[in-house]
Structure 1
Amino acid sequence: MFQIRPSSQMQAARLAPRAGRVGFGWVAGLFFAVVLISGARAQQPRSQAPGDVPALSADLLTHVQQVAQAGARGGLPAQARVEVQVGALDPRLKLAPCAVVQPYLPPGLQMWGRTRIGLRCVQGPVRWNVTLPVTVKVFAKALVAADTLAAGTTLTQALLSTAEIDIAAASGAVFTDAAGLNGRTLNRPLGAGEAVRSDSLKARQWFAAGDTVMVRATGPGYSVSREGQAMAVGLEGQNVKVRFESGRIVTGRVVGDRQVEVL
């Protein structure tokens, strides 16, 4: 039979309570750490919903719509109806507080369909400049297909009707004069009620290479016309080079019968 020496019993008795205290302290520390982390997370600001627009007030959104509408109305008929849908800024953006935010039209961007409005901070500790997505819808009367039309169809007034549509929903100019579309040929099919647009028609040839054409150049306060010789076939809406008698060559867009416009 083996006996435990008194010194060993005393050492074991001293170690056992200490081990118990160390284990309890570790568990208690872990518990309080979890509580503190959970509390810190609860106090963090909630992330914005995907559809929210951070840092934009109702007044600023109204101002954005007004700027976009003003930009879209240039050259539109008075009866056209413009609607602006304001999108959301990228939620990852971190914008400093700003007392005055100014919407503006970015240069080179047309207020038509899906586009963007500029926003810049003009009064704040940090000057920032971002763009905000917007969708501009322009409702106006235009010619549409009265029924489904196949590619290659030769248009007549009987095949067309007039409807109010969003003319900014797709590229290509729309038409309002049915007589002007008589005899034109579709280069793609159209669904019933779909607008007849310039890019859905086969291009017309307005002149041949070598023909004499009239070149018109316009600008602020001036308009100049001059005859020249076409260096290629003139297809409607396409660019063509024209040589003048002096030997100078210019490039312009074919806009009509023997008519070229220099932008």
Structure 2
Amino acid sequence: MRNAVVTLYLRSLLVVLAASSCGTALANTQSLESIQAAAEKQVSAQLPASKAKYFVTAARLDPRLRLAECSAPLEASLPNNSSPSARITVGVRCAAPAPWTIYVPVTTEIEAPILVLRRALPRRSPVDTADVELQTRRLPGTESGFISDTGNLQGRRLKRALPAGSPLTADVLVPDVLVRRGQQVTLLASGGPFEIRAQGQALSDGTERERIRVQNVTSRKIVEGVVENASTVRVDL
């Protein structure tokens, strides 16, 4: 997709430059700033509502570019109705009098309070409130992936080692493994006023609320249940 966009942009640029060199440059040309503004406006309109501050910046267009002045408002669109991301290409189109379309790269950054590490932590390390601090950072993308609430750290560990100062995002954290394969657990089944407990052996690792297979140590029957805590798996009656 990116190669196609670049190709389209270069083709439009070459055609216009060739026309200019032959003395057929257009008398009234579209302001490049207006094209950039249309691309930025389209991305800004699609950003989620937030108290954070967004910075939307269109790439600078080649000053040699000459496009016919548009008699109607410019039309801008995101590819395949996608959502804004750190980097996206926006199509800007003129319908009349001389139709043209140009593709403008746009970057989005966010400035918001984000949790960052006070110190380096190894892979699989739990992240405690003492390990982080809230800082206002300007980072690429939207706020969807950044963590600002320490409550979101509970029951999670680092997927990989991170140096001090690293911002915390949802994709660098994984749930804690509460139950290990081979571990003895309590199988709990309840229905109405009744509750049945039995001893079982986990056949796989499991995180909180994850469904795993457990073997009843008495009957040897294998059942599926949901990890409730570090020692209990709840099964359906």
The alignment's TM-score, normalised by the length of structure 2, stands at 0.55
Distance 1:55 1:193, change over 3 A: farther
* 1:120 counterpart = 2:88: no
* Per-residue CA distance 1:41-63 (angstroms, 9 max, x = gap): xx958xxxxxxxx9543334333
What is the CA distance between 1:102 and its match in structure 2?
2.1
What is the CA distance between 1:187 and its match in structure 2?
1.5
Aligned position for 1:178: 150
Aligned position for 2:135: 163
Aligned match for 1:62, one of 37, 42, 62: 37
Higher relative contact order (CA 8 A, sep 6+): 2
Q: Is the 8 A contact 1:157 1:182 kept in 2?
A: no
What is the CA distance between 1:82 and its match in structure 2?
0.8
* 1:105 counterpart = 2:85: no
Q: Distance in 1 between matches of 2:172 and 2:116?
A: 12
Q: Distance in 2 between matches of 1:233 and 1:91?
A: 59
Could you say which structure has the larger radius of gyration? 1
Distance 1:94 1:152, change over 3 A: same
Q: Distance in 1 between matches of 2:21 and 2:132?
A: 60
Q: Is the 8 A contact 1:117 1:132 kept in 2?
A: yes
What is the CA distance between 1:124 and its match in structure 2?
1.8
Count of matched residue pairs? 166
Q: Distance in 1 between matches of 2:103 and 2:64?
A: 13
Distance 1:183 1:175, change over 3 A: same
Paired residues for 1:1-263 under 5 Å: 44=21, 55-72=30-47, 74=48, 76-77=49-50, 79-89=51-61, 95-100=67-72, 101-125=74-98, 127-169=99-141, 173-204=145-176
Q: Is the 8 A contact 1:172 1:199 kept in 2?
A: no
Distance 1:58 1:95, change over 3 A: closer
Q: Is the 8 A contact 2:38 2:92 kept in 1?
A: no
Q: Deviating runs (4+, > 6 A) in structure 1?
A: 90-94, 232-236
Aligned position for 1:229: none
* Per-residue CA distance 1:74-133 (angstroms, 9 max, x = gap): 2x42x21111121145789885553333223333322120112220112223x2333210
Aligned position for 1:227: none
Unaligned runs of 5+ in 1: 1-42, 46-53, 213-231, 241-256, 258-263
* One-letter identity of the residue aligned with 1:70: A
Normalized per residue, which structure has more strand? 2
* One-letter identity of the residue aligned with 2:44: Q
Q: Distance in 1 between matches of 2:93 and 2:112?
A: 32
Local SS of the residue matching 1:107: helix
Between the aligned residues of both structures, percent identity stands at 24
Distance 1:155 1:103, change over 3 A: same
Aligned position for 1:243: none
Q: Distance in 1 between matches of 2:85 and 2:158?
A: 25
Q: Is the 8 A contact 2:36 2:104 kept in 1?
A: no
Unaligned runs of 5+ in 2: 1-19, 23-28, 180-188, 190-203, 212-228, 230-237
Q: Distance in 2 between matches of 1:196 and 1:186?
A: 9
The alignment's TM-score, normalised by the length of structure 1, stands at 0.50
Local SS of the residue matching 2:145: coil
Local SS of the residue matching 1:185: strand
* One-letter identity of the residue aligned with 2:42: V
* One-letter identity of the residue aligned with 2:37: T
What is the CA distance between 1:149 and its match in structure 2?
1.9
